[in-house]
Chain A
Amino acid sequence: MQQWTKTGAAVALTAWAALAAAGSAVAGEFNKVVSIGDSMPEFTNLPTAGGGQISSADITEDVVVLVSLANHCPWVKGMDADMVKLASSFGGKSVRFVGLSFNHREDDRLPAMKTHAEKAGYPFKYAFDESQELGRALGATRTPEYFVFDSDRKLVYTGALYNSPAKIQSDGSVKYTRGEPTEFFVQDAVMATLAGDAVTLAETKAHGCTVKYQ
């Protein structure tokens, strides 16, 4: 892989042919940082949209679902309702959803997060990672992008919600890009993990907006 060094920092300039020749050095099939089986990164006192803070040590549920979100993103808006429905469906089960926002643009920060979470009816805490350290540790580059961890806090699934990502159209309607979803990746991963089974499909492409790291 070709890299250019600029102001002391390694800057990614991928030489495509060289990459193909050298083979992929990525961690997962699609995620460049984490792979299935990796431990959940710890996080401490992230401020949340509803007030208060959240730390990884506070989470005691058997299954943890971290989801990378961005208020401004039409893909997030397109799938908000289905995400809320899914998170709500696990009521009474030992499952904890945590929404995460990493972008620094004003409409993705805490005040806008509060408004967005209330409007969308997020039934979980929605935390702002201003340092972007958690986002980097997760290799989170899209919104929405899901990370499911088991009771040992090992990654068992990462990627998309389902197989037909939805987006808000210019007229405000929601469109599933490949018709009604038929494969529900996150739901299946959570259910399998709760049952003590292996997750059949552990990594998919997370399609959506790109998280911008500073």
Chain B
Amino acid sequence: MTLARGCCALMAATLLAACDTAQQPVEASTDSEAASAETIELVPVTHAQWSTTLADYQPNIVVVDMWATWCAPCVERFPKMVTLHERYANKGVTIVGMSLEDRDDAGAVAGAADFLVRQRARFPNFLMDENILDSFDKLDILGIPAVDIYDQRGKLRYRLTGDDPNNQFTDADIEEAIVSLLAET
């Protein structure tokens, strides 16, 4: 991934879109809102902090997209998460991005933040602030992309993974799960 240089590349936790758009074309959105006024944060959280933060989103349905820039299928899927945010944000659904970038790789973290800006990912975005393998262990996932979907009571109802070659999830599966949970209310 091409990183935005200058001010953006040095800001691991918070990127101003204004830094990015001066050097990078916006690829993933036709939204005409001025990016210069937009701030998208990539917030480091430990797993313990994440558990607390997750509870704060209740009573919303929470869709957690676990991704990284090194994961090609994750990058391909990401625009769908932006679409889901735009479609369901006002219906009690919170999309959350959880980056499993290596926190010790500053260039990769900056690249992830830059990617979020270019995608206009206007939903909460976190960086797992753990050793990268510990992140997988603590989240209890074997690989990414993986999507966890919590219901309105904060109960994990769906875990969508690519762990079974004969049953890998699709973009449509995410939305079907959301619709199913919304129908329960």
- A-side interface residues toward B, CB under 8 Å? 4, 6, 10-17, 19, 30, 32-33, 72-75, 105, 132, 135-136, 139-142, 164-165, 167, 169-171, 175, 177-178, 205-213
Provide the bound-state CA to CA distance between A209 and B162, in Å: 10
Residue in A19, A33, A136, A210 whose CB lies within 8 Å of B144 = A210
Whether A177 and B164, one on each chain, are in contact in the complex, defined by CB atoms closer than 8 angstroms, is no
Whether B107 and A171, one on each chain, are in contact in the complex, defined by CB atoms closer than 8 angstroms, is yes
The proximity string for B residues 142-185 relative to A, scoring 1 for CB distances below 8 Å and 0 otherwise, is 11110010000001111111111111111011001100000000
Residue in A16, A72, A105 whose CB lies within 8 Å of B159 = A16
Whether A169 and B105, one on each chain, are in contact in the complex, defined by CB atoms closer than 8 angstroms, is yes
A14-B165 in contact given A74-B70, A142-B143, A177-B133 (Cβ < 8 Å): no
Whether A10 and B176, one on each chain, are in contact in the complex, defined by CB atoms closer than 8 angstroms, is no
Question: Is B102 part of the binding interface, using a Cβ–Cβ cutoff of 8 Å?
Answer: yes
Provide the bound-state CA to CA distance between A32 and B166, in Å: 9
Provide the bound-state CA to CA distance between A72 and B157, in Å: 33
Provide the bound-state CA to CA distance between A56 and B144, in Å: 31
Tell me the count of chain B residues lying within 8 A, CB to CB, of chain A: 41
Task: Find the residue from B70, B105, B161 having the highest chain A CB count within 10 A.
Answer: B70
Whether A207 and B155, one on each chain, are in contact in the complex, defined by CB atoms closer than 8 angstroms, is no
Chain B residues with Cβ below 8 Å from A205 are 136, 142
Q: How far is the CB of A158 from chain B (nearest CB, A)?
A: 13
Whether A141 and B133, one on each chain, are in contact in the complex, defined by CB atoms closer than 8 angstroms, is no
Top-5 shortest CB links A-B: A170-B107, A12-B167, A32-B164, A210-B162, A170-B108
Question: Is B7 part of the binding interface, using a Cβ–Cβ cutoff of 8 Å?
Answer: no
Whether A11 and B170, one on each chain, are in contact in the complex, defined by CB atoms closer than 8 angstroms, is yes
Whether B105 and A140, one on each chain, are in contact in the complex, defined by CB atoms closer than 8 angstroms, is no
Question: Is B131 part of the binding interface, using a Cβ–Cβ cutoff of 8 Å?
Answer: yes
Whether B165 and A213, one on each chain, are in contact in the complex, defined by CB atoms closer than 8 angstroms, is yes
Whether B165 and A13, one on each chain, are in contact in the complex, defined by CB atoms closer than 8 angstroms, is no
